[in-house]
Each structure stands twice: as structure tokens, then as C-alpha cells.
């Protein structure tokens, strides 16, 4: 773990992997809830956590284990699991089945049987990068991205699963679709999936 100052009131933590990022995020979020850390924002990414609006930047590393955390807190994910109803009829479902050495039903069983965690958000408002797939089920991006992926498309790329909140170009492997609303400015918070949340996909009838 490396801590870098990012302006007068922010600290950027550089970490080894997504487990370390999740662990740091859990610890710092808990510290803010308990009142032992004053911070305006705690923002995880693929290999970093940005803590902004801190009055004492040196306090950040003091809250974390020497060398940095390595595993998410056991208490994380204790909030209700968010369930995403999904129709598994994506254009790339057969390709994913081939990569996984199974059939369509096998892909559905693996995907719905996985407990995902929102590692971080990005790309578009409401787009959450979900981790939890076994490394055997990581898949490459498509060799050529599509110019338009419909809103609600459930897709896979690398170690991540995700749902496109709005129509956009995209190169992920599309396995299904959902009618869940991923981003709504009238909701609080606007994003359905926020960092640290636990997510399960449920096959829709």
C-alpha cells in the first residue's frame, strides 16, 4: 500500500488488488460512520481509494493495518442483498457457455449462484463493477465492441459482471437483460448499486 497526497485535503491509497481496495474501503467507511474519521468522500476504484475532504491526512494510514488491509471486513455486506431479476437471453450467452465449458443452463446456474460485491462505480452514472466470479469464469472482452448496448443489459468482462444503466457502446459479453432501474436522479442515492453492496442475480420467469 502507498499513500499519496492529492491536494490539500485528499489522500490517494494505491493498493495491490480488488480485495485490498474493498478491505480499505470497508475500514475507512466504518471509521467515518463511527466518527473516528472525518471525510467528505471515500471513492474506491480498481486499485485505488480516494479519501477527500479530510482534516488530518496523516490519520488515514493510522487507521489501516501496517502494509495495508488484505481482505474485506466480515461485517461488510451485512445490509440486505440487492437482487437483480434477469432474463438470460443475451447475444453472447453461447460464447460464454463455450468459454466456461458448459451450456446455457450452466451459465445461468453459475451466474445466479455467485454472490457479487460492488467493487467500484464508473464508466457511466449507475454502472457498477461487480466482483465475485471464480477466476475460472473470467472472460475476455469482445474483439470488436458493439456501437450500442441496450439499457439493462447484463454483461461480463474480465473479472467483472455489470449492468448497463443506459444505452451506450460497449465491448462486454452480453448474457442477459433486466428491467431494474440502475440510476434515477429522484432516488436517494440515485444509483441502485453503490460500493460495498452485495448483489445477486435472479433468473426472471
Give pLDDT, residue 67. 67
pTM of the shown model: 0.90
With a CB cutoff of 8 Å and minimum separation 6, the contacts of 180 are 84, 85, 152, 163, 192
Q: How many domains does the chain have?
A: 2
Same domain, 90 and 52: no
Same domain, 197 and 99: yes
Same domain, 93 and 159: yes
Same domain, 124 and 186: yes
Same domain, 58 and 88: no
Q: For residue 69, tell me if it sits in a domain.
A: no
Q: For residue 88, tell me if it sits in a domain.
A: yes
Q: For residue 164, tell me if it sits in a domain.
A: yes
Give CA–CA dist 46/50, Å, rounded.
11
CATH of the domain at 7: 3.30.1360.40
Give pLDDT, residue 57. 76
Give pLDDT, residue 15. 92
Same domain, 117 and 197: yes
Q: For residue 174, tell me if it sits in a domain.
A: yes
CA 83, chain centre distance (Å): 14
Give pLDDT, residue 161. 98
Same domain, 113 and 147: yes
Give pLDDT, residue 90. 97
Q: Which domain holds residue 146?
A: 82-203
Burial environment of residue 19 by CB neighbours within 10 A (0 to 12, 13 to 18, 19 or more)? middle
Residuewise pLDDT in 10s, the chain (205 residues): 888 888 888 999 999 998 899 999 999 999 999 988 889 999 999 999 999 998 777 788 888 887 667 666 555 445 789 999 999 999 999 999 999 999 999 999 999 999 999 999 998 999 999 999 999 999 999 999 999 999 999 999 999 999 999 999 999 999 999 999 999 999 888 999 999 999 999 999 8
Q: Which one, of 103, 100, 163, lies nearest residue 128 by Cα?
A: 163
Residue 167, φ and ψ in degrees, nearest 5: -65, 135
CATH of the domain at 187: 2.40.100.10
Q: Which of 31, 62, 93 is the last residue of a domain?
A: 62
Same domain, 46 and 108: no
Same domain, 174 and 115: yes
Residue 161, φ and ψ in degrees, nearest 5: -115, 155
Which grid coordinates are listed for 193? 448499486
Angstrom distances, CA of residue 204 to CA of 28, 63, 65, 83, 140:
36, 43, 43, 11, 26
Q: Which one, of 115, 80, 97, 116, lies nearest residue 176 by Cα?
A: 97
Sheet holding 2-5, edge to edge: 2-5, 10-14, 48-52, 41-44
Give pLDDT, residue 74. 53
Q: For residue 70, tell me if it sits in a domain.
A: no
Give pLDDT, residue 80. 85
Strands of 97-197, DSSP E: 116-121, 128-131, 146-149, 153-157, 160-163, 168-170, 173-177
Amino acid at each position: 500500500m502507498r499513500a499519496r497526497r492529492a491536494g490539500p485535503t485528499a489522500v490517494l491509497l494505491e493498493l495491490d488488488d480488488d480485495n485490498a481496495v474493498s478491505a480499505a474501503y470497508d475500514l475507512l467507511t466504518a471509521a467515518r460512520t463511527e466518527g473516528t474519521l472525518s471525510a467528505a468522500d471515500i471513492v474506491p476504484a480498481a486499485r485505488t481509494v480516494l479519501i477527500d475532504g479530510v482534516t488530518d491526512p496523516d490519520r488515514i494510514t493510522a487507521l489501516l493495518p501496517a502494509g495495508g488491509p488484505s481482505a474485506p471486513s466480515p461485517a461488510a455486506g451485512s445490509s440486505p442483498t440487492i437482487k437483480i431479476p434477469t432474463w438470460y437471453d443475451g447475444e453472447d450467452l453461447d460464447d460464454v457457455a463455450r468459454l466456461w465449458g458448459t451450456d446455457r443452463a450452466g451459465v445461468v446456474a453459475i451466474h445466479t449462484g455467485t454472490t457479487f460485491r460492488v467493487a467500484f462505480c464508473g464508466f457511466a452514472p449507475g454502472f457498477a463493477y461487480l466482483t465475485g466470479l471464480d477466476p475460472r469464469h473470467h472472460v475476455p472482452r469482445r474483439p470488436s465492441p458493439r456501437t450500442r448496448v441496450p439499457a439493462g443489459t447484463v454483461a461480463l468482462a474480465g473479472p467483472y459482471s455489470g449492468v448497463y444503466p443506459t444505452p451506450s457502446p460497449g465491448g462486454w459479453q452480453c448474457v442477459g437483460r433486466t428491467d431494474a432501474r440502475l440510476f434515477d436522479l429522484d432516488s436517494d442515492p440515485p444509483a441502485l448499486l453503490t460500493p460495498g453492496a452485495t448483489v445477486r442475480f435472479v433468473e426472471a420467469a
